[in-house]
Amino acid sequence: MIEIKDLSISFGDQEILQNIDLTIREKQITIIVGQSGTGKSVLMKCIEGLIEPVQGSIIIDEKDLFTLNKLELNEIRKKMAMLFQGSALLDSMNVYQNVALPLIEHTDLSEDTILKEVKEKLELFGLKDVLTKMPAELSGGMKKRVALARAIILKPKYIIYDEPTTGLDPIIAEEISNLILKMHKQYDITSIIITHDMNCIRKIKGNIVMIHDKKIVFDGTFDDFNNDERKIIKEFVK
């Protein structure tokens, strides 16, 4: 479980999030929505321990993230996978090297085992004959899938997707939404999805959390979100 308590984040004198309270329950899908620039990516980076808040705490599996030493923080990070906005493959490495990287960095598995794991994950995402391709040789949808394969390779307990379908054509975007659902079910993961994409939200449903003007203005089911009469939500859902 991830518990965010009274969290405030600022950059200089610009306050981004103010007194946020949010509980992310295990094995559920939480979808974080909100207009561009409201601090969704910043919140995600804070959960990863990449940004320090001005105030508040983030408790992950009963450990307070901002009191941990480097070693403890690494242990927590190993449980968390992240699909960054824009997929963030390493351009100088081929597909195999990109997907294998977490295994090389965090495990003592043999090269053969790593190759087998990488192939298995790529296949799961419908990718064949791409092992030696460079990211520049892949389409946008393929890059996302390679990034998904890399995110899942350490069998994380938590996975955070930042705008997984943005910038993809509607058919590929739907495929990615389906893959996210498939992964969620197959691996019993706790999933957090940040997205603007109403098609993706309608497909995945889950618990919706909306950030607006530094605060959480909605935290509840998809159906309640869909029926909410407030203008900011109606504008978002339409």
Ligand X SMILES: Nc1ncnc2c1ncn2[C@@H]1O[C@H](COP(=O)(O)OP(=O)(O)OP(=O)(O)O)[C@@H](O)[C@H]1O
List residues binding ligand X (CB under 6 A). Answer: 11, 16, 34, 36-42, 85
Write the CA distances from 175 to 65, 156, 159, 162, integer angstroms. 34, 21, 18, 16
Shortest Å distance, C-beta 166 to ligand X: 8
Write the CA distances from 215 to 16, 22, 33, 48, integer angstroms. 9, 11, 12, 20
Q: Is 166 in the site for Mg ion (CB under 5 A)?
A: no
Cα separation, 199 vs 141, in Å, equals 16
Toward Mg ion, which CB reaches closer, 87 or 94? 87
Toward Mg ion, which CB reaches closer, 103 or 193? 193
Shortest Å distance, C-beta 80 to ligand X: 18
With CB under 5 to 8 Å by kind, the binding choice for 39 among Mg ion, ligand X, none is ligand X
Shortest Å distance, C-beta 23 to ligand X: 20
Shortest Å distance, C-beta 200 to ligand X: 13
One DSSP character per residue, 14-64 reads EEEEEEEEEEE-TT-EEEEE--TTSSHHHHHHHHTTSS--SEEEEEETTEE
208: closest CA among 182, 236, 186, 166?
Answer: 236
Cα separation, 222 vs 207, in Å, equals 6
Q: Is 35 in the site for Mg ion (CB under 5 A)?
A: no
* Among 8, 10, 41, 97, contact with Mg ion (rule: CB under 5 A): 41
Toward ligand X, which CB reaches closer, 16 or 147? 16
Toward ligand X, which CB reaches closer, 9 or 29? 9
Shortest Å distance, C-beta 44 to ligand X: 8
With CB under 5 to 8 Å by kind, the binding choice for 192 among ligand X, Mg ion, none is none
Across 206-217, b (16+ Cβ under 10 Å) vs e yields bbbbbbbebebe
Toward ligand X, which CB reaches closer, 99 or 211? 211
- Binding residues vs Mg ion (CB under 5 A): 41
